A and B are shown apart, each in its own frame.
Chain A
Amino acid sequence: MPEDPSGKVSLPLIVDRKTTPMRRRTVLSSLTALTAAALVLAGCGADAKDDASSAGGAWSYTAGDGKTYTADKTPTRIIAHAYAAKALMEFGIKPVGIYADGKVAEDVGLQGVDFTGIEILGEEWGKIDAEKAVTLAPDLIVADWWPAEGVYSGQEEGVEDSAKKLSELADVVGPAQGDSIVGVIEGYATLAKSLGADAAAIDSAKATFDEAVARFQAATAAKPNLTALAISPYDDVYAVAVPKYAPELLDFQKWGLKVIDPETPDPEFPYWESLSFENADKYQPDVLLFDDRNAPGGQEKLASQPIAANIKAYAAGAMTNWPAYWLHTYTDYTAQLDKLTTFIESADENTGE
């Protein structure tokens, strides 16, 4: 038929620059830099600038990367990753600029922080406005150190070149992420003290926090058989968190809550065991802990699945949220622990199997 046009087969729409990296990050796990960055092997974002530092300076700090950084005077113009900024600000150290992994207003880990007067240099993982950063004339960059990857947040493999430029503006320092949130918070406390924070205020925040831990331990001790499963249902995946890679879940385990270790973490991305909803009843905990970064979406997702009724904890309504991968301050951790303590006190340790 001569008049037949050669019809154009359109690709599925919205294949554009933003969807693709976002998709990769979200599909791989969920929404944080922690997870987004976890696949990459050791990078070399932290080329130490030891040569630039002068021995015996007025300021010195041993960072998570193991190196000791020094300067003639205490740094005052700090650019920080948003979570690091929140940690520093709790101790009274206010940065001049921050960069976040997503929209600051929407990040559950950044609620209640007043960033007025602070320049926001990025609200998307891997993107930092280096030109604006230069105009801030920073003398220190602060972010979490990721030992497994050997990089600081914001310098991971896969970020844009402009983001990497940030590390050329000043030394990048910060405490190491590890197997406990407490370690991270204490690391920020030490850094904040070196930057002039009030040690008494830090000690008082820590004392309040320690009391919360004691209450949590008392609650779990009263329910020695209570088991919990940390989950993040999304799309058609029932993702079960692996405590080994979730420092707050490791803390909970340490403080007496039996958070279930999934049997077969995903081989290429061991942060989760991804189950299809057909298999969502594989684990039968007494309580379910939902990833709070996707709340209430995760609960709604599970609710829409017929198998939800076969998860005893869900059927019994024994569920709450867990602060997933974002805790950086005593205040937040205290509040979250208190919520969980109340929840545990009213939980039934015979719900699951």
Chain B
Amino acid sequence: MVATGRPSATAAPTTTTPPKVSIAKRIGLGGGLLLALGALAVLAFFSIALGSRSITIGTVFDAFFDPSAISPDLTVIRDMRVPRTLLAIAVGAALALGGTLLQGVARNPLADPGVMGINAGAALAIVTAIMLIGVQSAGGYVWFAFIGAGISTVLVYGLAATGREGATPVKLALAGAAVTAVFSSVTSAVVLANVDALNEMRFWQVGALSGRFMPVFWQLAPFLIAGSALALFAGRPLNTLALGDDVARALGQPVALTRSILFAIIAVLCGAATAAAGPIAFLGLMVPHIARFICGPDYRWILPYSALLGPVLLLACDITGRVVTAPGELQVGVVIGIVGAPAFIALARFRRLVQL
């Protein structure tokens, strides 16, 4: 529905939420959530048990039930695979929730952190940190990535929010594209001139979960967890926003305020996730669509599904990357692109996705 600028009271529909879900369907959806949780648990176990180094199941249990045991196998499990798995779960949930919120608030089925300038902002902050301060480790540039992502989110929202009708979906998309373009070209300019920045960027750019250990997880866990928790409560406002600005306003929702709060949550989620694992493409785009495919248009269901399916997908891709090229590894960003694109196309063919 086109925003006419003249909210009309007669447009108010009779329901404020999507049609009531039947009891049977609710039980089905609830069961589905449990199923997803189970899948996540299984994958988390595989993520700890499988990898480019072969470790017996017995040793895996030792790592948890025999704290006194010490061996290289246990180092790999405790200090490399466990942090990596925790990070995958937190990042997967954050990206999926961030993507869901972004698609809902921007009412754009193609919105993901890449479109809204978030990745571009994080990348620019990282190269700036490398160039100006000489930061070289993942733990060091996490904060810069986070700040960069935050700044670009605020910038995109600020640009879109100027003008009378506020941050409309069209203006958000345009502002996102513009900010991405500017930040990307500045990043390119820096990287072309600075070999250190290029080398660090090259790796960060792909999106990877390896090489980031407990410190990185602890640095970002508060943001990832708090952001995810807040996002899970955004179902009702998102449902209302989905009806269009005019209707939402007519229903008494402060549209601009709601948008800015949701954007703040998005900035925290995507910023922290991108800082932790690099710009992982597709996840934030694809998972909301899968969730919507399963449970229909009600965001109160879409959000918890996204929160579980995001980590499921990210872990599955990460495990694949570790196993297929053993004894080497393939970065999760690469796997998710290879696996994700065809899956996404299939999904798009299967259903009309662009209904938001």
**Chain A positions near chain B (C-beta within 8 angstroms):** 1-14, 16, 18-19, 22-23, 26-27, 102-103, 106, 234-237, 274-279, 281, 297, 300, 304-307, 309-310
Contact = CB atoms under 8 A, between A and B. Distances in A.
A4 B108 contact: yes
Given A1-B244, A5-B108, A306 B115 contact: no
A224 B180 CA distance: 59
A320 to B, nearest CB: 21
Interface of B: 1-3, 51-53, 72, 75-76, 79-81, 106-112, 114-115, 119-120, 123, 136-139, 168-170, 173-174, 176-177, 180, 183-184, 187-188, 191-192, 195, 198-199, 201-203, 205, 208, 210-211, 213, 244, 279, 281, 285, 322, 326-329, 331, 354-356
- Interface-centre pick from B79, B138, B285 (highest chain A CB count, 10 A): B79
Given A10-B180, A276-B328, A4 B2 contact: no
Contacts of B183: 13
A279 B173 contact: no
A234 B210 CA distance: 12
Contacts, number: 153
B170 A3 contact: yes
A201 B147 CA distance: 59
B81 to A, nearest CB: 8
A269 to B, nearest CB: 12
A8 B52 CA distance: 37
A306 B71 CA distance: 12
Nearest to B51: A278
Contact of A7 (B79, B173, B184, B208): B173
B62 to A, nearest CB: 16
B72 A13 contact: no
B195 A103 contact: yes
A310 B114 CA distance: 39
28 contacts: A1-B1, A2-B1, A9-B112, A9-B115, A9-B285, A10-B184, A11-B114, A12-B281, A14-B123, A14-B187, A14-B205, A19-B202, A102-B195, A234-B199, A235-B202, A235-B211, A236-B203, A236-B208, A236-B329, A275-B327, A276-B51, A276-B52, A276-B328, A277-B210, A297-B136, A304-B137, A306-B79, A307-B75
Nearest to A284: B72
Contacts of B198: 18-19, 22
Contacts of B3: 3
B110 A307 contact: no
A307 B120 contact: no
Contacts of A309: 75
Report which residue of A11, A16, A279 has the largest number of chain B beta carbons within 10 angstroms of its beta carbon.
A279
A223 B213 CA distance: 38
Across the A-B interface, the 4 shortest Cβ-Cβ residue pairs: A306-B79, A7-B110, A13-B184, A278-B53
Nearest to B127: A14
A304 to B, nearest CB: 6
A300 B52 contact: no
A352 B60 CA distance: 26
B170 A236 contact: no
Contacts of A27: 202
Contacts of B115: 7-10
